[in-house]
Amino acid sequence: MSSALLIEQLLNGLQFGVMLFLMAAGLTLIFGVMGLINLAHGSFYMIGAFACAAVAAWTGSFWLGLVASLAAAAAAGAIVEILVVRRLYERDHLDQVLATFALILIFSEGTRWLFGSFPLYLDIPPVLSGAIPLPGGAQYPLYRLAIIAAGILVAIGLYLLISWTRIGMRIRAGESDREMIGALGVDIGSLYTLVFALGAALAGLAGAMVGALQSVQVGMGEPVLILAFVVIVIGGIGSIKGALVGAVLVGLVDTLGRLLLPKLFAIAMGPSEGATVGAAVASMLIYIVMALILALRPQGLFPANT
Amino acid sequence: MNRSIPVNVVLALLPVGIALGAVAFDEPFFVTLATRMAILALAATGLNLALGLGGLVSFGHAAFFGIGGYAAGILATHALYMQPILTWPVEIGGTDSMPAIWLVAVVVAGLVALGTGAISLRTSGVYFIMITLAFAQMIYYFAISWPAYGGEDGLSVPTRAVFPGVNTATPMGFFAVCYGALLVGVTIFAILRASRFGAALQAARQNETRLAAVGIAPFRIKLVAFVLSAMLTAVAGALFADLNRFASPSMMSWQMSGELIVLIILGGTGRLFGPVAGAVLFVLIEHLLGGATERWQLFLGLILLGVVLFARGGMVGLLAGKPRHG
């Protein structure tokens, strides 16, 4: 195996991790501030992708599509928060799971109604098409590098927002004592709507960016949602730092596992059987890693609010 | 006034009524619907043990449902082609006998639940929900990427398994077996709920610290409940594969886990016949709405949202009033 392939797969894993971070950051923020488990987060990812694909097809500009994806996902998030989710904060997790499960059904079926059952396709913008050379002679798509860069920028932006701005201060205060900041005159209701819309917008951005790599279709959000759950469980629910570390870890472990495990098992068991077993184990690898981490640290790597 | 006894009797007889009515009006399809209700009710009764009594919101019970289904599929396939499953250290062949299939399903699901439960139960609340979901996904991906038993295509069950003394090839015969299994499942649930174990389990849901203070370890109680719950659901899975003559990876999907929870909530959490009410309602909604519109899932979502937001206590709660104690 060449080093170029390894570097390429490392970058793929990093890109996957960055995308998971965008999903997980919103989920963990919503859980941390409002104590809500939101299954419908994958729907915002889907809405972002569909909005981007539809607007890009209509105007011909990927960038307008990207703006539309942020706006559509944030708007959907705000509407959902005001109409439904607001009533769930005081309920137990079971009610939250069910209500947001119902939202998935509504969003998926509604999107299928609007756009039909056929997948949409989104082209990579011309500026970012093409590839750049890697050390070792291989080429790597520029667009995937741009996703990595965008993810890193969002991570820095979130850090600055939460650590250095007044809104961030209120979000942190909301995490530690929601009644107290309410008593201090902060409008908790609109703070919650804002946090929910922010999380939804991040998911929408992730969906739009990945939409240019895969097809845009109903049900695309849920596999990513479940991986994002794994990420925040590993990282510690409520911790953005944990989400970043967990996302990169899951991205790398999954991508490299799929590359290396079939080869490793092939050495041990012979080529054909080893490749099959290796592929099966690789598809379970991140869950095995999650189980190991939880067996050692049940609250995740960076427990928040303790 | 306690209306829960007459409501329970009516609910218990509802699947039988639908099946007999179907025979009377010569609509054999409704026998299949009634069988589906009984099987889903059994699966949800299993989950109700963990979720309703123990407060363990498992979002991964589809894994056990699927394990039961694959047990039925794999054993029946090996029986048909006369291939042993294991040749070493002892030779184990396939079988098409339901009790043997159920035994395998129960043992395998129990062992998997013991392993995943021991890890998952170290956590609680939202972590538990996500971890059970993640473990179910792990088993789902394993089923998909294991080509020997169908992989993504699933595994067809060549012939429906047999039960001693009943002709399971006829719809009514198979319905009778499924309904019998449901009654046994509900009885097990009732016995467990009334037992000392059940009292400890409900105490673990209500106040774990107090339970620990009187000298009962909540972890072991919850783990046993989780394992028993998985076993019941696995039997339902084996029956489901026999009903469809097909074990599909979608039996293990996260949507299935969600549906099992939905059945319980529609019916009423922790209620003896809640899962039966939920399954009857769910299958009827699926059939009636599915017949009326392609977009039935949209309306299912709206109904579900309405139940969660406004009708807590589910259908049994609506019909029979609140439970005497939470």
Q: Is the dihedral of CA A90, A93, A94, A96 positive or negative?
A: positive
Higher pLDDT, B227 or A37: B227
Characterise B55 by phi-psi region: left (phi > 0), alpha (psi -120 to 50), beta (else): left
Closest chain A residue by Cα to residue B298: A106
pLDDT of amino acid B92: 74
User: In this structure, what CATH number is given to the domain that contains residue A101?
Assistant: 1.10.3470
C-beta atoms of B301 and A103 within 8 A: yes
C-beta atoms of B122 and A295 within 8 A: yes
pTM: 0.88
Interface contacts (A, B; CB < 8 Å) = 116
Say yes or no to pLDDT of A223 above 50.
yes
**Residue B59 with chain A: CB contacts under 8 Å:** 97
Residue A139 carries which DSSP code? E
Q: pLDDT, tens digit, for every residue of A255-292? A: 999 888 888 888 887 777 788 888 888 888 998 898 88
Question: Do B203 and B211 contact (CB within 8 A), yes or no?
Answer: yes
pLDDT of amino acid A127: 83
Q: Which amino acid is at B28?
A: P
In which band, very low, low, confident or very high, does the pLDDT at B2 lie, cut at 50, 70 and 90? low
C-beta atoms of B261 and A237 within 8 A: no
Instruction: Name A216's bridge partners.
Output: A120
C-beta atoms of B308 and A95 within 8 A: yes
Of B161, B164, B131, B137, the residue nearest B250 (C-alpha): B137
pLDDT of amino acid A306: 43
Q: pLDDT, tens digit, for every residue of A90-110? A: 888 888 989 999 999 999 999
Q: Which of B119, B135, B309 sits opposite A99 (nearest CB)?
A: B309
Say yes or no to pLDDT of A138 above 80.
no
Q: Is residue A23 assigned to a domain?
A: yes
C-beta atoms of B51 and A94 within 8 A: yes
In which band, very low, low, confident or very high, does the pLDDT at A4 lie, cut at 50, 70 and 90? confident
On average, the pLDDT of chain A sits at 88
Least confident of B1-5, B9-13, B141-145: B1-5
In which band, very low, low, confident or very high, does the pLDDT at A48 lie, cut at 50, 70 and 90? very high
Closest chain A residue by Cα to residue B301: A102
Q: Which amino acid is at A199?
A: G
Q: Which amino acid is at A231?
A: V
Q: Which of A98, A109, A226 sits opposite B297 (nearest CB)?
A: A109
SS3 call for A257: helix
Question: Do A194 and A74 contact (CB within 8 A), yes or no?
Answer: no
C-beta atoms of A37 and B309 within 8 A: no
On average, the pLDDT of chain B sits at 87
Say yes or no to pLDDT of B30 above 50.
yes
Q: Which of B145, B300, B309 sits opposite A105 (nearest CB)?
A: B300
What's the gap in Å between the CA of B14 and the closest CA on chain A?
Answer: 26
Question: Per CB distance under 8 Å, which residues of A are interface residues toward B?
Answer: 31, 37, 84, 87, 93-95, 97-99, 101-106, 108-110, 112-113, 222, 226, 229-230, 232-233, 237, 276, 279-280, 283-284, 287-288, 290-291, 294-295, 298-299
What's the gap in Å between the CA of B1 and the closest CA on chain A?
Answer: 28
What's the gap in Å between the CA of A128 and the closest CA on chain B?
Answer: 34
Closest chain B residue by Cα to residue A111: B298
What's the gap in Å between the CA of A131 and the closest CA on chain B?
Answer: 32
Task: State the total domains in chain A.
Answer: 1
Closest chain A residue by Cα to residue B296: A109
Mutant choice from B141, B144, B266, B302 vs A, greatest count of A C-beta within 10 A: B141
* pLDDT, mean of residues B141-146: 86
Q: Is residue A248 assigned to a domain?
A: yes
C-beta atoms of B305 and A95 within 8 A: no
Say yes or no to pLDDT of A42 above 90.
yes
**Residue B254 with chain A: CB contacts under 8 Å:** 222, 226
Residue range(s) defining the domain that contains residue A117:
8-121+134-296
C-beta atoms of B141 and A95 within 8 A: no
Q: pLDDT, tens digit, for every residue of B66-98? A: 999 999 998 988 888 777 777 666 677 778 888
Half-sphere exposure of B101 (CA within 13 A, CB side): 33
C-beta atoms of B298 and A279 within 8 A: no
Q: pLDDT, tens digit, for every residue of A156-211? A: 999 899 888 988 888 888 878 878 888 888 888 888 999 999 999 999 999 999 99
* pLDDT, mean of residues A37-50: 94
Q: Is residue A127 assigned to a domain?
A: no
- CA atoms of A234 and A303, how far apart (whole Å): 10
Closest chain B residue by Cα to residue A39: B130
C-beta atoms of A103 and B305 within 8 A: yes
Q: pLDDT, tens digit, for every residue of B299-323? A: 889 988 988 888 766 677 777 776 6
Torsion of CA A79, A80, A83, A87, to 10 degrees: -140
C-beta atoms of A98 and B131 within 8 A: no
Cis, bond preceding A141 (omega within 30 deg of 0): no
Say yes or no to pLDDT of B324 above 70.
no
Q: pLDDT, tens digit, for every residue of A271-280? A: 777 888 888 8
Say yes or no to pLDDT of A135 above 80.
no
pLDDT of amino acid B1: 43
Mutant choice from B130, B131, B296 vs A, greatest count of A C-beta within 10 A: B130
What's the gap in Å between the CA of B57 and the closest CA on chain A?
Answer: 7
pLDDT of amino acid A140: 87
pLDDT of amino acid B117: 94
**Residue A222 with chain B: CB contacts under 8 Å:** 254
Report the 3 state secondary structure along chain B.
CCCHHHHHHHHHHHHHHHHHHHHHCCCHHHHHHHHHHHHHHHHHHHHHHHHHHCCCCCCCHHHHHHHHHHHHHHHHHHHHHCCEEECCCCCEECCCEHHHHHHHHHHHHHHHHHHHHHHHCCCCHHHHHHHHHHHHHHHHHHHHCCHHHCHHHCEECCCCCEECCECCCCHHHHHHHHHHHHHHHHHHHHHHHHCHHHHHHHHHHHCHHHHHHCCCCHHHHHHHHHHHHHHHHHHHHHHHHHHHCEECHHHHCHHHHHHHHHHHHHHCCCCCCHHHHHHHHHHHHHHHHHHHCCCHHHHHHHHHHHHHHHCCCHHHHHHHCCCCCC
pLDDT of amino acid B89: 67
Torsion of CA B318, A100, B57, B326, to 10 degrees: -30
Q: pLDDT, tens digit, for every residue of A62-96? A: 999 999 999 999 999 999 999 999 989 888 888 89
pLDDT of amino acid A272: 79
Closest chain B residue by Cα to residue A258: B145
Question: Do B225 and B198 contact (CB within 8 A), yes or no?
Answer: no
Q: Is residue A128 assigned to a domain?
A: no
Q: Is residue A302 assigned to a domain?
A: no
Q: Measured in whole angstroms, how far is the alpha carbon of residue B284 from the centre of its chain?
A: 18
φ and ψ of B300, to 5 deg: -60, -45
What's the gap in Å between the CA of A188 and the closest CA on chain B?
Answer: 21
**Residue B269 with chain A: CB contacts under 8 Å:** 94
Closest chain B residue by Cα to residue A92: B125
**Residue A232 with chain B: CB contacts under 8 Å:** 130
Question: Per CB distance under 8 Å, which residues of B are interface residues toward A?
Answer: 51, 57, 59, 116, 119, 122-123, 125-127, 129-131, 133-135, 137-138, 141-142, 144-147, 254, 258, 261-262, 265, 269, 295, 297-298, 300-302, 304-305, 308-309, 312
Q: Angle at Cα B174 formed by Cα B168 and Cα B175, nearest 5°? A: 165
- CA atoms of B41 and B282, how far apart (whole Å): 10
pLDDT of amino acid B14: 79
Of A120, A113, A109, the residue nearest A50 (C-alpha): A120
* pLDDT, mean of residues B177-192: 94
